């Protein structure tokens, strides 16, 4: 009897252009699909920069994946993270010399689309750091945000996860 497939998400950091990194879904170690993604703000590659830097490297346990159906359904406090969301477990960063370790919390993979697939709301009058305004706006508060021009990417990722039975042992490796 064949063993069940093992699924894993992998975030591949682009050191030259953090907002042009990749999120891949792997099945038994082979790439199934890959999406453009960004993490952090303004080229902040500091993993200990809470709410601004890259997601810390290493493995993550997936705390849940859900399609948000309203503020009451969200088990987190960040109002900008809505719609299709994969919640990651907290992670302590690896500090550089002279820096203190920080426990990074409220970490997600998202695209700021609402549950119906439309654009997320804007928190500010003008440009919102938590919402796609144009193709360059793939910054996040230290989460992984999928490409702005393709809101169907997060929905496609969820379709793949649904076909796999939304694996409960799903992990994310950040490298």
Average pLDDT over all residues of the chain: 78
Nearest one of 19, 12, 20, 11 to 129, comparing CA atoms: 19
Tens of pLDDT, residues 48-76: 887 778 888 888 888 887 876 555 566 66
Buried b (16+ CB within 10 A) or exposed e, 12-31: ebeeeebbebebbbbeeeee
- State the Cα–Cα distance between residues 111 and 146, nearest whole angstrom: 5
Assign 131 a pLDDT band (cuts: 50, 70, 90): low
Nearest to 65, CA basis, from 166, 142, 152, 163: 166
pLDDT at 68: 65
Check residue 121 and give its pLDDT: 61
Confidence band of 149 (pLDDT split at 50, 70, 90): low
Nearest to 32 by CA among 1, 14, 10: 10
Q: Tell me the C-alpha distance between 123 and 134, whole Å.
A: 16
- Which tokens in the block code for residue 4? 């069940």
Q: What is the pLDDT of residue 157?
A: 93
pLDDT of residue 142: 74
Rounded CA-CA distance 73/19 in Å is: 29
- Give residue 106's pLDDT: 84
In the numeric block, which tokens belong to residue 171?
A: 């992990």
% of the chain exceeding 90 in pLDDT? 14
- Interval 93-126: pLDDT, tens: 888 888 899 998 888 888 877 777 676 665 555 5
Q: How confident is the model at residue 26 (pLDDT cuts 50, 70, 90)?
A: very high
Does this model's pTM top 0.85? My answer is no
Between 17 and 151, the more confident residue is 17
Cα–Cα distance, 91 to 103 (Å, whole number): 6
């Amino acid at each position: 009897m064949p063993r069940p497939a093992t699924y894993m998400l992998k975030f591949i950091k682009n050191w030259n252009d953090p907002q042009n990194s990749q999120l891949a879904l792997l099945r038994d170690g082979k790439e199934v699909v890959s999406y453009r993604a960004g993490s952090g703000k303004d080229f902040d590659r500091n993993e200990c920069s809470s709410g601004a830097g890259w997601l810390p490297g290493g493995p993550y346990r997936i705390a849940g994946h859900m399609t948000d159906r309203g503020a009451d359904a969200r088990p987190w406090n960040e109002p900008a993270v809505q719609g299709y969301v994969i919640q990651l477990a907290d992670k302590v960063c690896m500090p550089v010399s002279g820096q203190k370790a920080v426990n990074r919390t409220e970490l997600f993979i998202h695209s700021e689309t609402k549950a119906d697939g439309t654009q997320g709301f804007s928190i500010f009058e003008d440009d919102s750091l938590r919402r796609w305004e144009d193709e360059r706006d793939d910054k996040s508060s230290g989460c992984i945000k999928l490409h702005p021009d393709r809101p169907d990417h997060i929905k496609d990722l969820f379709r793949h996860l649904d076909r796999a039975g939304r694996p409960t042992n799903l992990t994310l490796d950040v490298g």
